[in-house]
Amino acid sequence: MKNSDSITYKPSPKAAWANGRKLLAVGIILIACVCGWFMMELEILGVRVLVPYFGSAVYVVTGSVIGVFLLSLSVGYMLGGWLSGKINAWSALGAAMMTTGAWLCAIPFFAEPVCDMIFNIGLDEKWGSLLASLVLFGAPTVLLGTVSPTVMHWLTTQASDSGFNAGLVLATSTIASFAGCVVTAFYLVLCSLRMTLCTSGVVLAVLGAMVLLSAAMQAKKNPRGDSNGKQQ
């Protein structure tokens, strides 16, 4: 996958390659969408996880859960942007998705001990729920936050495209977040919380494993190649 003239890239001479890359571009945007969906699903389920331990006071929902998600996303965006120039985009995405999936599967098992411990050291519904939210949902949200900048970086082959690509990724992944929001709040609320978290975790981990595997195969085929499609 050599692309020596990517800065002045024109699709006509290498049509096959361009089509392959187009397909990959759709794929990587879909990954951003999947992560956007699960980010919002986790946020809504997060409220359900915390309420039995810290009550349904307004601090728990608006302060702790939404606050922690925003903070973690900003850390994730920064981290993703910084990492995107250093490591292979596809392996970074695969690793982030797999780790987040595993974390989601684990939440039902450590939510109770974590929340009980935080409540028992005497923290109230404000700071207690904030800390619990950070411990339970901080790490997976940071990882999901790294996805968008990584995808934007991969999509951008010339500087003048960067704004369009950033807009495209943000728009599509936010639409997916909206869908995740509605489906979780309207329909998944009828299902078991543990089952929903575990199933989502497994789906995310399997997708992540597939991305990771394809990245590894690509690297084997083309050891010196940069799957970002850019010159280093």
Partner 1 sequence: MKNRMHKTILILMFCMAPFGIAMAASRQQQLGQVIHKKSSLYNSIFVYKDGSIVSLKFGKRATLNLQSQVDLNDPRRHMLEYTTMTFCGLFYKPQPQRMLVLGLGGGVIPREMHHHFPQLQIDVAEIDPDIPPVAARFLGFHEDEKLKVHVDDGRMFIKKQLRCNPVPKYDMIILDAFNGDYIPFHLMTKEFLQEVKGVLADDGVVIANVFYTNRLFDAEFKTFLSVFGRSQAFFGAVSGNAMLVSPGPACPILTEQEAVEHAQQLQQKHNLSFDLIEVAQMLRPDVHPDRRAKVLTDDVAPVNWLREQETKKFSSDIP
- Pick from 192, 206, 213, 222 the residue near partner 1 by CB under 8 A: 192
Closest separation in Å from C-beta 200 to partner 1: 15
Which residue lies nearer to partner 1 by CB, 46 or 149? Answer: 46
Contact status: 127 vs partner 1 (CB under 8 A): no
Stretch that binds partner 1, among 90-98, 140-148, 183-191, 217-225 (CB under 8 A): 183-191
Do 105 and 42 contact (CB within 8 A), yes or no?
Answer: no
- Nearer of residues 73 and 105 to partner 1, judged by Cβ: 105
Work out whether 121 is an interface residue with partner 1 (CB under 8 A): no
| Residues of span 49-78 touching partner 1 by CB under 8 A | 51-52, 54-58
Place of tokens 């409220």: 47
190 scored as a contact of partner 1 (CB under 8 A): yes
> Considering the complex, what minimum distance in angstroms separates the CB of residue 50 from partner 1?
10
Q: Does 41 bind partner 1 (CB under 8 A)?
A: no
Considering only residues 179, 193, 203, 216, which one is a binding residue for partner 1 as defined by CB under 8 A?
Answer: 193
Give CA–CA dist 131/118, Å, rounded: 8
**Nearest 5°: CA angle at 229, between 227 and 232?**
95
Q: What is the DSSP letter of 141?
A: H
Residue 47: CB atoms within 10 A of its CB come to: 18
Q: Cβ distance 216 to 106 under 8 Å?
A: no
- Structure letter (DSSP) for residue 138: H
Q: What is the CA angle 193-197-200, rounded to 5? A: 135
**Site of interaction with partner 1 (CB under 8 A):** 48, 51-52, 54-58, 119-120, 125, 189-194
